[in-house]
């Protein structure tokens, strides 16, 4: 079997400087930056920004038009005020509003925004899913 | 600032049973399954499968056609044989081959496949990025 894990998330981006500025405005610090690629240390995994054309080529399909939106990266928070703050900060950094945070049917509180390339982030509070001390998530 | 973390990755899928069978064939066990959504415990975060139409609606844009491919989820392994094994297992489970694993310019070994909905996974060995004991990745 293949281990049940994710070690790296790579976002294909139209303009590396634009995307890097967006994530910097959220308060994020790049851990490594090389020619054409930026790496952020996350909670036990790494997030990368990489040119979408380069990503298509790397994936073995140079020239392909890559889509976005069918995958959500979520950040869970310990309370609704932190969700509101994260959403407001993203919009002030230039994110596209998709859904303002609100109470949702499953008993939590959730909003969505899109980054400069259309990659979708959810910001949420789930009272049934407490976070570990380091911000990681272990299902109850 | 917003914490630098990802707690949940949600893949929008056309058919939950098809996707669930695919990931089961990789040897993955669902930790929780509810009506219309399946959760897998990963390394400090959770992977979810959720209907693409439901995801678009949840994102505040019901009816939108969501794209795939511009985001890669990567699994790193400690050797190239494990990369080959993971790639072969994915193809045997019905994945679409994008690029067979091969030695790449940055000194590692990497391949790509797409899951039943076009979500892209990279399987890789990076000799410069050793994995933690639990399979998590901390940048050197």
Q: Does residue B95 surpass a pLDDT of 90?
A: yes
The pLDDT value recorded for residue A134 is 87
Contact A4/B29, CB-based, under 8 Å?
yes
* Strand, helix or coil for residue B20: helix
Beta-carbon neighbour count of residue B136 at 10 Å? 21
Contact B119/A7, CB-based, under 8 Å?
no
The pLDDT value recorded for residue A1 is 87
Minimal CA–CA distance to A137: which of B39, B48, B74, B46? B46
The pLDDT value recorded for residue B134 is 87
Beta-carbon neighbour count of residue A92 at 10 Å? 10
The pLDDT value recorded for residue A41 is 96
Q: Does residue A84 surpass a pLDDT of 90?
A: yes
Q: Is A130 on the interface with B (CB under 8 A)?
A: no
CATH fold for domain B1-67:
2,3-Dihydroxybiphenyl 1,2-Dioxygenase; domain 1 (3.10.180)
Contact B70/A89, CB-based, under 8 Å?
no
DSSP strand pairing (A8-13 vs A120-125)? unpaired
In chain A, % of residues over pLDDT 70: 100
Average confidence (pLDDT) over B91-101: 96
Residue B34's Cβ-count burial label (10 Å; 0-12, 13-18, 19+) is: exposed
The pLDDT value recorded for residue B31 is 96
Smallest Cβ–Cβ distance between B46 and the set A12, A59, A139 belongs to A139
Smallest Cβ–Cβ distance between B31 and the set A12, A64, A139 belongs to A139
pTM of the model: 0.93
DSSP strand pairing (A8-13 vs A46-51)? parallel
Q: How far apart are CA B127 and CA A134, in angstroms?
A: 27
Q: How far apart are CA B86 and CA A129, in angstroms?
A: 30
Average confidence (pLDDT) over B53-72: 95
Average confidence (pLDDT) over A112-122: 96
Contact B61/A98, CB-based, under 8 Å?
yes
The pLDDT value recorded for residue B62 is 95
Q: Does residue B70 surpass a pLDDT of 90?
A: yes
Interface of B with A in 32-91 (CB under 8 A): 32, 39-47, 52, 55-56, 58-61, 64, 66-76, 85-86, 89-90
Contact A55/B32, CB-based, under 8 Å?
no
Residue ranges of chain B that CATH labels 3.10.180.10: 1-67, 68-134
pLDDT in tens, A93-116: 999 999 999 999 999 999 999 999
Class of domain A68-134: alpha beta
């Amino acid at each position: 079997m293949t281990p049940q894990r994710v070690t790296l998330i790579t976002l294909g981006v139209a303009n590396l400087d634009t995307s890097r500025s967006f994530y910097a405005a959220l308060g994020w610090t790049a851990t490594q930056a090389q020619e054409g690629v930026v790496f952020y240390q996350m909670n036990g995994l790494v997030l990368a920004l990489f040119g979408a054309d380069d990503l298509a080529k790397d994936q073995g399909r140079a020239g392909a038009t890559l889509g976005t939106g069918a995958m959500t990266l979520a950040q869970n928070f310990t309370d609704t005020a932190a969700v509101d703050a994260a959403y407001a900060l993203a919009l002030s950094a230039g994110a596209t509003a998709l859904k303002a945070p609100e109470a949702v049917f499953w008993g939590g509180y959730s909003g969505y925004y899109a980054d400069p390339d259309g990659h979708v982030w959810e910001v949420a509070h789930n009272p049934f899913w407490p976070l570990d001390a380091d911000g990681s998530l272990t299902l109850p």
